[in-house]
Chains A and B, each alone.
Chain A
Amino acid sequence: MLKHHPLLRAIAMNIIAWILFLLVLLALYFAWLREYQMNWGATAQEVSRYMAGDELHENPRFDATRAVQINATPEQIWPWIVQMGYKRAGFYGFDKLDNGGIPSAERIIPEYQNLKVGDSIPSGEYTRGEHKGELFYLLEVVEMEPHESMLWVFLGTPWIGATWSWGLYRVDDKHTILVSRLRQSYTFDSFEAIIAWSFIDTIEILMMRTTLLGIKRRAENM
């Protein structure tokens, strides 16, 4: 009988095993890992504290507050944040993916220090079509308190409308807590949205953590 063939049984076994495996992973993710990664490095106080742009998403599905303590003053950390951007200082992350292969800056670049409210931050470049080679802008500076806080709002899909808020909180003369908060009220209204947000929800932490630690290393080595 065909159904008793070892290969067919193995295929069925593989499908069932994957379903069970993914269910266990999903259960673990939503029971424990998601909350941990959404608040990586942040205390309960930092998670609940108001940050610029919170009013734009009152009950966001994606609400990630991450923090890192840096052995530097807010004045020493601030320049590293304002110069971020594609083919500016980079995002201190995976340069091949988010900075066109150009290594993120290891120094403060004076010409990128004049970021102000209303400016757009380049986030990538078109790789095909009539705009090939031109930069595109996914982030706009909406609020800024130099050396304290800054709010970026996303302009393009799938993040459109999402807020990326930065906060610098002085601990003492030599230490500062750098906090990043990403919020988005996304919906699962299309297949593309389900796929996009399934990946973003689980993987974005890897990019953000790399960026925060990249800023920390640079600011501390100044």
Chain B
Amino acid sequence: MVEKGSVVTSENKIKTYRWFFYISLLQLLAFFIVPALVFPIRLVFHIEIISALTLGLVVALFFLLVNVCGLYIDKSRRSLYVSMLIIIGLWFLWAVISWSFIEHMDYLLR
């Protein structure tokens, strides 16, 4: 038999986690929205790409860990967290390939 108190605690935990997820997602999005507002239009695309390959990657790593926590804390939305993990995984793969062969990545350099 489940006690009432433990159900409330669990619900609170999930609610708190979901807010945590949204805040982290917002931070990740802000990392790309802010440069778009600050830098000249001719540079924005390039800044965003460099950002995605450097500091953005750090914010993405944080968000990845948040999603890993979600797999255990908020099991009812596992498919969402798995989707996010796949997207960030692909992002990391792109970053690794880009840095490994940077001298041939004309779209990054020019």
CB-contacts of B1-54 with A (<8 A): 12, 15-20, 22-24, 27, 42-43, 46, 50, 53-54
Residues of B within 8 A of A213 (CB): 102-103
- Residue of B53, B58, B66 touching A25 (CB-CB under 8 A): B58
Closest to A25 in B: B58
Judging by beta carbons under 8 Å apart, are A6 and B23 in contact?
no
Interface residue A160 (Cβ < 8 Å from any Cβ of B): no
Judging by beta carbons under 8 Å apart, are B23 and A11 in contact?
yes
Residues of A within 8 A of B16 (CB): 6, 9-10, 13
Bound state CA distance, A21 and B24, in angstroms?
13
Judging by beta carbons under 8 Å apart, are B102 and A18 in contact?
no
Give the distance to chain B from A36, nearest Cβ to Cβ, in Å: 14
Interface residue B99 (Cβ < 8 Å from any Cβ of A): yes
CB-contacts of A3-58 with B (<8 A): 4, 6-7, 9-11, 13-14, 17-18, 21, 25
Q: Across chains A and B, which 4 residue pairs bring their CB atoms closest together, nearest first?
A: A10-B19, A213-B103, A6-B15, A96-B46
The segment out of A148-156, A166-174, A202-210 that lies at the interface is A202-210
Judging by beta carbons under 8 Å apart, are B12 and A206 in contact?
no
Bound state CA distance, A11 and B19, in angstroms?
8
Dominant SS among interface residues on chain B? helix
Judging by beta carbons under 8 Å apart, are B110 and A216 in contact?
no
Bound state CA distance, A10 and B24, in angstroms?
10
Interface string of A159-193 (1 = CB under 8 A from B): 00000000000000000000000000000000000
Interface residue B97 (Cβ < 8 Å from any Cβ of A): no
Known contacts A13-B16, A14-B20, A18-B62; A96 and B43 CB within 8 A of each other:
yes
Bound state CA distance, A5 and B110, in angstroms?
49
Bound state CA distance, A147 and B100, in angstroms?
28
Inter-chain pairs besides A21-B62, A94-B50, 19 sampled, C-beta below 8 Å = A4-B12, A9-B16, A10-B17, A10-B20, A11-B19, A13-B16, A13-B20, A14-B24, A14-B27, A25-B58, A94-B108, A96-B43, A97-B46, A101-B42, A104-B109, A210-B102, A213-B103, A214-B109, A217-B104
Bound state CA distance, A18 and B61, in angstroms?
11
Known contacts A97-B46, A206-B54; A103 and B110 CB within 8 A of each other:
yes
Give the distance to chain B from A178, nearest Cβ to Cβ, in Å: 13
Bound state CA distance, A7 and B62, in angstroms?
19
Residues of A within 8 A of B102 (CB): 209-210, 213
Interface string of B82-105 (1 = CB under 8 A from A): 000000000000000001001110
